[in-house]
């Protein structure tokens, strides 16, 4: 029986700590200090307690002892094991019988998710003294299948490839592949996030979530998005359902649509996504860029800060797609500090060159986070005023009010689906939206922005005209 260690939460590190742990360091002495010396080859490790050459040989010697029954899957896993520079880059074939208490959780736009326990745990490093793998057993694992994955395809493997290219702990990690013996569908194995997605995190909280806590979350989410973009990828399906929480720690998930920036052709039948989060230029069929992810971040940011589901009271159809292109955006709560409101509006600007980059987003949020103890900062002044109102409103809400807050229109869809809209108008910014911004350095006053701030009325006759004309 291999040695295991039981944990219930994942460890979170700062950016510098993560880089120190996972980046291959050229400085030999520093590598010795951080990673130690391999007990077999007497060389510094390539990752945290990880010697790539020795472990690659160990994995290769074990290839003959396992198989998924599929040559493509076997070679994919073997490649990860031979090239892993630390344990998060190492996949395993995990026979389905090793999982216990497999329970259906939910179905999304592309597949199903189950929770399960696995007493054996996942590989972390080679225990040289005891000559066996040191393993960690998490409390639960998530098993994710993709539709029609019994016939293994590029979509399934591409999602795993995307996970392997991301280095920080702000992205859900994939630990291996398994196969349901009944359905024959292949499944990815992830850590299970007990607190669900961002919406669950907000709805289930029995305590007021203050604005600095929300900035903490946004800072981590932006850092994860930055890592995706630094890897040369775009997420393409960025919405609150793909932000998972473990206690207060958010993590980006569902990289199934994630693709290299230079491989962004729009399928002829349309695009996939959750309509309220999709950038207007993408709705029109334009190339999906990093800026489109930033637009989605702006919608997520507002959802977290305003605690309102975007466009939950209307049908997610052609009318909404046209309204979005004409500048309509979700309501921003009157309680959101103006500095944060300004950043939201920049993220969902109709002109993509006006949106910040992921790096700029992260740097701004990091700066605000570092100012949390500076009582004289403009942000803290705004936050203190808004928290007083927000906390009072939170604890004065009845259960009925909270229940209404999570109800949505019967034709509002928050899982990814095919979006195929023709002849949408050229994206513009709403005049009402730009009027919300003002000089944040001036005296701060709480300003209502929630009442129909971007009202765009479209009737059926106008919609028919859009269908009949090729609008530039």
Structure confidence by residue, pLDDT tens digits, 403-415 = 666 678 889 999 8
Q: What is the mean pLDDT of residues 225-254?
A: 92
> Over the stretch 12-23, which tens digit does the pLDDT of each residue have?
334 444 444 444
> Over the stretch 277-288, which tens digit does the pLDDT of each residue have?
999 999 998 989
Reply yes or no on whether the pLDDT at 69 is more than 50.
yes
Cβ neighbors of 238 (< 8 A, separation 6 or more) are 225, 252, 277, 293, 296, 297, 300
Residue 435 CB burial class (10 angstroms; 0-12, 13-18, ≥19): exposed
Handedness of CA 325, 256, 165, 103 (dihedral sign): positive
Higher pLDDT, 150 or 102: 102
> Over the stretch 206-220, which tens digit does the pLDDT of each residue have?
899 999 999 999 999
- Determine the pLDDT at residue 347: 97
Higher pLDDT, 96 or 15: 96
Q: What is the mean pLDDT of residues 355-382?
A: 93
Reply yes or no on whether the pLDDT at 424 is more than 70.
yes
Lowest mean per-residue pLDDT among 150-154, 208-212, 243-247, 295-299: 150-154
Q: How many CA atoms lie within 13 A of 297 on its CB side?
A: 31
Instruction: Give the strand pairing for 132-138 and 4-7.
Output: parallel
Work out the angle at residue 163's Cα, subtended by the Cα atoms of residues 162 and 164, and round it to the nearest 5 degrees: 90
Q: What is the mean pLDDT of residues 68-72?
A: 90
Compute the distance between CA of residue 49 and CA of residue 36 in angstroms, rounded to an integer.
7
* Both tokens assigned to 189: 């194995």
Cβ neighbors of 49 (< 8 A, separation 6 or more) are 35, 36, 124, 125
Give the global pTM.
0.82
Reply yes or no on whether the pLDDT at 444 is more than 90.
no
- Determine the pLDDT at residue 452: 39
Reply yes or no on whether the pLDDT at 256 is more than 90.
no
Compute the distance between CA of residue 220 and CA of residue 304 in angstroms, rounded to an integer.
13
Compute the distance between CA of residue 424 and CA of residue 92 in angstroms, rounded to an integer.
46
Lowest mean per-residue pLDDT among 43-47, 202-206, 212-216, 352-356: 43-47
Compute the distance between CA of residue 327 and CA of residue 300 in angstroms, rounded to an integer.
17
DSSP 314-347: S--SHHHHHHHHTT------TTS-HHHHHHHHHH
Confidence tier at 158 by pLDDT (50, 70, 90): confident
Reply yes or no on whether the pLDDT at 434 is more than 90.
no
Higher pLDDT, 38 or 325: 325
- Determine the pLDDT at residue 161: 81
Compute the distance between CA of residue 412 and CA of residue 395 in angstroms, rounded to an integer.
28
Average pLDDT of the chain is 82
Which ranges of 36-70 would DSSP assign to H, the alpha helix? 52-62
* Both tokens assigned to 15: 């950016």
- Determine the pLDDT at residue 451: 36
Cβ(92)–Cβ(118) under 8 Å?
A: no
- Determine the pLDDT at residue 9: 32
Confidence tier at 436 by pLDDT (50, 70, 90): low
Confidence tier at 54 by pLDDT (50, 70, 90): very high
Reply yes or no on whether the pLDDT at 270 is more than 80.
no
Q: Show me where the domains of the chain are located.
A: 6-191, 196-263+270-396+410-419
Helix, strand or coil, per DSSP, at residue 193:
coil
> Over the stretch 116-149, which tens digit does the pLDDT of each residue have?
999 999 999 888 888 999 999 888 999 998 776 6
Confidence tier at 303 by pLDDT (50, 70, 90): very high
Coarse DSSP helix, strand, coil percentages of the chain, rounded to the nearest 5 percent: 40, 15, 45
31: left (phi over 0), alpha (psi -120 to 50) or beta: alpha
Compute the distance between CA of residue 86 and CA of residue 51 in angstroms, rounded to an integer.
8
Residue 47 bridge partners (DSSP): 50
Q: What is the mean pLDDT of residues 371-391?
A: 91
* Both tokens assigned to 17: 């700590």
The CATH architecture that domain 196-263+270-396+410-419 belongs to is Orthogonal Bundle (1.10)
User: In which element (H, E) is residue 20 found?
Assistant: helix 15-22
Reply yes or no on whether the pLDDT at 453 is more than 80.
no
Reply yes or no on whether the pLDDT at 368 is more than 90.
yes
Q: What is the mean pLDDT of residues 282-303?
A: 95
Q: What is the DSSP letter of 266?
A: P
Compute the distance between CA of residue 322 and CA of residue 428 in angstroms, rounded to an integer.
11
Residue 467 CB burial class (10 angstroms; 0-12, 13-18, ≥19): exposed
* CATH 3.30.200.20 given to domain 6-191: yes
Reply yes or no on whether the pLDDT at 291 is more than 60.
yes
Helix, strand or coil, per DSSP, at residue 469:
coil
Lowest mean per-residue pLDDT among 24-28, 336-340, 383-387, 459-463: 459-463
Reply yes or no on whether the pLDDT at 49 is more than 90.
no
Compute the distance between CA of residue 151 and CA of residue 318 in angstroms, rounded to an integer.
34
What percent of the chain has a predicted confidence (pLDDT) above 90? 52
């Amino acid at each position: 029986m291999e040695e295991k260690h039981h944990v219930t939460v994942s460890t979170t590190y700062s950016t510098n700590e993560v880089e120190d742990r996972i980046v291959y360091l050229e400085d030999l002495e520093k590598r010795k200090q951080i990673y130690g010396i391999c007990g077999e080859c007497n060389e510094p490790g390539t990752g945290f307690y990880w010697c790539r050459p020795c472990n690659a040989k160990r994995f290769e010697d074990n290839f003959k002892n396992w198989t998924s029954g599929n040559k493509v899957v076997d070679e994919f896993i073997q490649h990860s094991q031979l090239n892993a520079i630390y344990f998060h880059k190492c996949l395993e074939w995990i026979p389905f019988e090793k999982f216990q208490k497999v329970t259906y959780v939910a179905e999304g736009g592309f597949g199903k998710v189950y929770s399960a326990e696995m007493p054996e745990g996942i590989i972390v490093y080679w225990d040289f003294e005891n000559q066996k793998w040191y393993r960690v057993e998490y409390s639960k694992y998530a098993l994710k299948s993709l539709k029609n994955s019994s016939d293994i395809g590029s979509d399934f493997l591409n999602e795993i490839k995307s996970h392997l290219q991301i280095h920080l702990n702000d992205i859900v990690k994939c630990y291996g592949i398994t196969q349901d013996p009944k359905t024959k569908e292949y499944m990815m194995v992830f850590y299970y996030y007990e607190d669900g997605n961002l919406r669950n995190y907000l709805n289930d909280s029995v305590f007021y979530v203050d604005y600095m806590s929300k900035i903490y979350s946004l800072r981590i989410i932006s850092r994860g998005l930055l890592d995706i973009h630094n890897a040369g990828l775009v997420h393409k399906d960025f919405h609150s359902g793909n932000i998972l929480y473990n206690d207060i720690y958010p993590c980006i998930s569902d990289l199934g649509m994630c693709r290299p920036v230079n491989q962004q052709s729009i399928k002829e039948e349309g695009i996939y996504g959750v309509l309220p989060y999709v950038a207007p230029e993408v709705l029109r069929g334009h190339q999906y860029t990093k800026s489109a992810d930033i637009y989605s971040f702006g919608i997520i940011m507002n959802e977290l800060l305003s605690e309102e589901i975007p466009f939950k009271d209307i049908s997610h159809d052609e009318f909404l797609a046209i309204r979005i292109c004409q500048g309509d955006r979700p309501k921003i709560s009157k309680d959101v500090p103006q500095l944060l409101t300004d950043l939201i509006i920049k993220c969902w600007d109709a002109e993509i060159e006006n949106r910040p980059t992921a790096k700029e987003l992260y740097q701004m949020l990091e700066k605000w986070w570092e100012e949390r103890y500076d009582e004289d900062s403009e942000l803290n002044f705004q936050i203190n005023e808004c928290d007083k109102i927000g906390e009072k409103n939170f604890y004065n809400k009845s259960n009925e009010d909270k229940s209404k807050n999570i109800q949505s229109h019967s034709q509002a869809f928050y899982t990814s689906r095919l979006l195929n809209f023709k002849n949408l108008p050229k994206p513009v910014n709403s005049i009402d939206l730009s009027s919300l911004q003002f000089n944040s350095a001036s005296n701060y006053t709480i300003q209502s922005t929630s009442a129909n701030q971007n009202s765009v009325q479209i009737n059926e006759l106008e919609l028919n005209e859009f269908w009949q004309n090729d609008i530039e």
